[in-house]
Amino acid sequence: MRGGHFPFPPQTPGSRFLSALGLRRCTVRCSGCNTSEPHPPQLRGPPVSFYPLFCHLFPRLCREEAPTGCFCILDMPNIVLFSGSSHHDLSQKVADRLGLELGKVITKKFSNQETCVEIGESVRGEDVYIVQSGCGEINDNLMELLIMINACKIASSSRVTAVIPCFPYARQDKKDKSRAPISAKLVANMLSVAGADHIITMDLHASQIQGFFDIAWKNCIIVSPDAGGAKRVTSIADRLNVDFALIHKERKKANEVDRMVLVGDVKDRVAILVDDMADTCGTICKAAEKLIDAGAVKVYAILTHGIFSGPAISRINSAPFEAVVVTNTIPQEEKMKACPKIQVIDISMILAEAIRRTHNGESVSYLFSHVPL
């Protein structure tokens, strides 16, 4: 068993408090700080899971502050975590956060390039989670995910949850032209038919943004690079108690912006562009230039998914950004080497906590306002 860092000396108010509750301490190795210390109690009876709010709820009972990223999972029975081929590094980080070993799975290609998946262990009666992001060879990875879900389902798993940090085809979510497909709905239907009971995916919310930069929030303005992100931006601005602005863009064709109109005053402000994803980065780079021309003193970009295809890196390097912050829903190691402006936030803790809450039947919507960064 592994756990988080909640060190109580034998005779401290913390240990006496726990004794008064009828609880006992256990010593396990911390998956976050790799130390063996007395950890929070396990209730007499069935094993239970602990979340790091204990130290925050009772800070005076703790000898020292819990290291960042440590939390305690004393026991999570009947759970199996598999990784697809798209982002093994993120899958491993999620497994480490949960104190789990990744399940055994073999993926390969037949000679005609069809995908073959072999689940290497029993999943009968297990609560299965499969981590597969919509990046890299997207179509192959999507098919691999569907096959893995179906393989676990027909192997009598009790439940299968697809953990898709970057949801594929998410941009095709509405019928904006005649005869245009709604591909996001099609992918959702495919996941359902394959046997997925739940889907966990990732997007930014206000509480996740507050800790990104050490700047005076009162001098900031949150900016949406398009009308579609207005609801996201207004929610974040309300939470941070700052102003917001909107850039209206007109496209002639996909990935090409013809004209931009700024609605809002950014003069002498730090402008923070917020969007769900950036692909070729034409929109956000033109938006950054528009904001500087309108008098913004600095421009940052915060994006959930950094796809960064085609000329994206060269555009970011030449754009007036102080920094472009993305999450690791998509591997970014090579992009960071090519562009020093790119900074990456690890979201494995958020995914791990979403998995823990789903497994234990707890509220996942709690994470919208209380993010375990």
Q: What percent of the chain has pLDDT over 70?
A: 72
Spatial distance between the Cα atoms of 122 and 152, rounded to a whole number of angstroms? 9
Helix (H) or strand (E) holding 162: strand 159-164
* Segment 258-302, tens digit of pLDDT: 678 899 999 999 999 999 999 999 999 999 999 999 999 999 999
* Segment 126-135, tens digit of pLDDT: 999 999 999 9
User: Which band of pLDDT confidence, cut at 50, 70 and 90, is reported for residue 10?
Assistant: very low
Any idea which of 49-58, 86-95, 143-152, 245-254 has the lowest mean pLDDT? Answer: 49-58
Spatial distance between the Cα atoms of 223 and 287, rounded to a whole number of angstroms? 9
Residue 231: the pLDDT is 85
Domains 79-202+350-368 and 206-346 share a fold: yes
* Segment 120-163, tens digit of pLDDT: 999 999 999 999 999 999 999 999 999 999 999 999 999 999 99
Among 224, 235, 373, 372, smallest CA distance to 301 is for: 224
| CATH ID of 79-202+350-368, from 2.60.120.620, 3.90.1570.10, 3.40.50.620, 3.40.50.2020 | 3.40.50.2020
**Residue 153 φ/ψ, nearest 5 degrees:** -65, -45
Is the pLDDT reported for residue 23 higher than 60?
A: no
How do the domains of the chain map onto residue ranges?
A: 2-61, 79-202+350-368, 206-346
CATH class label, 206-346: alpha beta
- If you search the block for the tokens 């999570």, which residue do you land on? 76
On the CB side of 271, CA atoms within 13 Å amount to 31
Q: Helix, strand, or coil here: 246?
A: strand
Instruction: Give the mean model confidence (pLDDT) for residues 201-211.
Output: 61
* Segment 45-55, tens digit of pLDDT: 333 333 333 33
